[in-house]
Amino acid sequence: MSTFLLTEDPIDPAAFTLALRRDEAGGYCSFEGWVRNHSDGQAVLGLDYQAYLPLAETEALAVLSEAETRFDILAASCIHRIGTLAIGDMAVWIGVSAPHRDAAFTACRFVIDEIKRRVPIWKRERYASGHSEWIACHEIMDGS
Amino acid sequence: MSTFLLTEDPIDPAAFTLALRRDEAGGYCSFEGWVRNHSDGQAVLGLDYQAYLPLAETEALAVLSEAETRFDILAASCIHRIGTLAIGDMAVWIGVSAPHRDAAFTACRFVIDEIKRRVPIWKRERYASGHSEWIACHEIMDGS
Amino acid sequence: MANAILARPDMAHLTLEYFALLRDEAGCACEEIETAALSLDALYEELKTRHNFTLPASRLRVAVNAAFARWDHSPTDGDHVVFIPPVSGG
Amino acid sequence: MANAILARPDMAHLTLEYFALLRDEAGCACEEIETAALSLDALYEELKTRHNFTLPASRLRVAVNAAFARWDHSPTDGDHVVFIPPVSGG
């Protein structure tokens, strides 16, 4: 039902979007994360992403599966890019189909929030100043 | 900044999505309404849409402009199809780019909700039973 | 000329356009009419009787020349009037 | 043999993989080590000293053989261990 892909190539969601189509689907919500040219007031030149592949896949699929359990949706998928990205590049894509729009929006938001919170993917920002820095989005999670 | 298109042809958002790109954009949220095969328990064969074109354009542009004023977004666009649609056809597309994802999601949801509430477009459902019916989503608006 | 005060002798020539249920019930998308109605409210009641419209004015909005208008607006010769049934786009 | 109770004579051979800041600080993506550490917690303190890691364990999670693990888990010979810095995907 749900698909997750980690890729070093530019993201092309076309085939993934097609796979979310259902005759019972009345709403489709998607989110794309793009590399933007600034972060906390600093000019950004680009991003580098690393991922711990096997665990990222397990964890992202768990997020998608949770979304399908918690919300009245038909299917949800995600593609995350890794490697070196330039301004404007798509870093992540999420698509959700549902009978009605409310669940499509809520589930899509849930998936991007959880992906950011718990999937082992890391982003380094390269600044115009020459400096670069690994960004930390999560703080302590739970006891594990 | 914002674009609205009413069209009798199948919706192709590619060029519209491209026009929403900005180097300052970190998040993009889109919504698509698809013709689904059921409504309130009845099997649906397809939909017919009519629109009062000049007022629909004015009102949809007002909705997009309100979204740009109310939320921290960069651009928002919408395409709505009219005419005869089959199951799975895209009836409406909305795209919003923003520096951060929260505004992208909120504004995208605002636009589809307001389009449904106040833009003079009407949908007739054609049922498997042979019956068909104009759907009413809004009730009384304001005094005007 | 005393009549002018009571009945408005200058009939307004209007173009009416219908959508959705109103189009089905009127049996046409467009018609030209002459009316003595002094408000859009009164005009709708006139048309409601003529076409057996089932929607009460309270469920409609009304537009004149492609802009939303008030029900107490007085239609003027040459106006393009559209009664707007409950919308259902998206 | 009395030592066995105190110091665990069977050293575990582990594969460590590093990501993000830990990779930069370790200066390598991967290393193989022998350790006597009885928990992942103790293992991280050992590596923290060796590589001058700046992140405290409290900001990390840890995975063994591609599954999240508890800090008190005892690493076994052949385990693949990854310390997970704060994530920032999306």
Q: Is C82 helix (H, G, I), strand (E, B) or coil?
A: strand
The whole-number pLDDT of residue A2 equals 86
Q: Which two tokens stand for residue B21?
A: 């790109």
CATH code of residue B65:
3.90.1170.40
Nearest CA in chain B to A106: B105
Q: What CA–CA distance (Å, rounded) separates A97 from C64?
A: 39
CB A63 within 8 A of CB A118: yes
- The ipTM of this complex is 0.91
Greater model confidence, D82 or C9? D82
Size of interface A-D (CB pairs under 8 A): 89
The whole-number pLDDT of residue D9 equals 61
Q: Say yes or no to pLDDT of A15 above 90.
A: yes
Alpha-helical (H) ranges within chain C are: 2-7, 20-26, 40-51
What string of pLDDT tens digits covers the 144 residues of chain B? 689 999 999 999 999 999 999 999 999 999 999 999 999 999 999 999 999 999 999 999 999 999 999 999 999 999 999 999 999 999 999 999 999 999 999 999 999 999 999 999 999 999 999 999 999 874 434 333
pLDDT cut 90: percent of chain C above it: 89
Average pLDDT over residues A98-123: 98
Q: Is residue D89 part of a domain?
A: no
Q: Is residue D45 part of a domain?
A: yes
Counting CB pairs under 8 A, whether chains A and D reach 3 or more, is yes
Least confident range from A57-66, C48-57, D4-13: namely D4-13
Q: Say yes or no to pLDDT of C11 above 70.
A: yes
Q: Say yes or no to pLDDT of A65 above 90.
A: yes
CB B94 within 8 A of CB B100: no
How many domains is chain B built from?
1
Q: Is residue B141 part of a domain?
A: no
B83 to chain C, any CB pair closer than 8 A? The answer is no
Domain that holds residue D73: 11-84
The whole-number pLDDT of residue A139 equals 45
Contact between chains at A31 and B27 (C-beta distance less than 8 A)? yes
A81 to chain D, any CB pair closer than 8 A? The answer is no
pLDDT band at C8 (very low <50, low <70, confident <90, very high): low
Q: What CA–CA distance (Å, rounded) separates D83 from D69?
A: 10
The whole-number pLDDT of residue A144 equals 33
A67 to chain D, any CB pair closer than 8 A? The answer is no
Nearest to B107 by CA among B60, B61, B74, B59: B74
Q: What CA–CA distance (Å, rounded) separates B12 from A85?
A: 27
Nearest to B33 by CA among B116, B91, B86, B82: B91
Q: Is residue B142 part of a domain?
A: no
Q: Is B63 helix (H, G, I), strand (E, B) or coil?
A: helix
Q: Say yes or no to pLDDT of A26 above 70.
A: yes
The whole-number pLDDT of residue C35 equals 97
pLDDT band at C47 (very low <50, low <70, confident <90, very high): very high
Q: Which residues of chain D lie closer than 8 angstroms to A48, CB-CB?
A: none
The whole-number pLDDT of residue B55 equals 98
Least confident range from B115-119, C3-7, C59-63: namely C3-7
Q: What CA–CA distance (Å, rounded) separates B23 from B121?
A: 34
CB D62 within 8 A of CB D84: yes
Could you report the per-residue pLDDT of A71-82, keeping only the tens digit for each? 999 999 999 999
Q: Which residues of chain D lie closer than 8 angstroms to A116, CB-CB?
A: 87-90
Give me the count of residues in chain A.
Answer: 144
- Which amino acid appears at position C49 of this protein? T
- Residues of B with a Cβ under 8 Å from any A Cβ are 21, 23-38, 87-88, 97, 99, 101, 104-105, 108-109, 112
Q: Which chains touch C (3 or more CB pairs under 8 A)?
A: B
The whole-number pLDDT of residue A127 equals 97
Which residues have a Cβ under 8 Å from the Cβ of C44 and sit 6 or more positions away?
C53, C57, C60, C62, C71, C83
How many domains is chain D built from?
1
Average pLDDT over residues A36-47: 96
pLDDT cut 70: percent of chain C above it: 90
- DSSP code per residue over D16-73: EE--HHHHHHHTSSEEEEEE--SSHHHHHHHHHHHHT--S-GGG-EEEETTEE--TTP
Contact between chains at D59 and A80 (C-beta distance less than 8 A)? no
Q: Which residues of chain A lie closer than 8 angstroms to B28, CB-CB?
A: 31-34
Could you report the per-residue pLDDT of A125-140, keeping only the tens digit for each? 999 999 999 998 744 4
Contact between chains at A50 and D86 (C-beta distance less than 8 A)? no
Size of interface A-B (CB pairs under 8 A): 81
Q: Say yes or no to pLDDT of C24 above 80.
A: yes
The whole-number pLDDT of residue C1 equals 41
Q: Is residue D6 part of a domain?
A: no
CB atoms within 10 A of CB B39: 17
Nearest CA in chain B to A25: B36
Q: Is residue C78 part of a domain?
A: yes
Q: Is residue A144 part of a domain?
A: no
The whole-number pLDDT of residue D10 equals 79
CATH code of residue D43:
3.10.20.30
* Alpha carbon of A131: minimum distance to chain B alpha carbons (Å): 20
Mean pLDDT, 10 residues at a time, over chain D (90 residues)? 50 97 98 97 98 97 98 97 97
Domain that holds residue A94: 3-134
Q: Is residue C1 part of a domain?
A: no
The whole-number pLDDT of residue C84 equals 98
Q: Is residue A140 part of a domain?
A: no
The whole-number pLDDT of residue B114 equals 98
D33 to chain A, any CB pair closer than 8 A? The answer is no
Q: Is residue B122 part of a domain?
A: yes
The whole-number pLDDT of residue D85 equals 97
Phi, psi for residue D42 in degrees, rounded to 5: -65, -40
Greater model confidence, A69 or B137? A69
A78 to chain D, any CB pair closer than 8 A? The answer is no
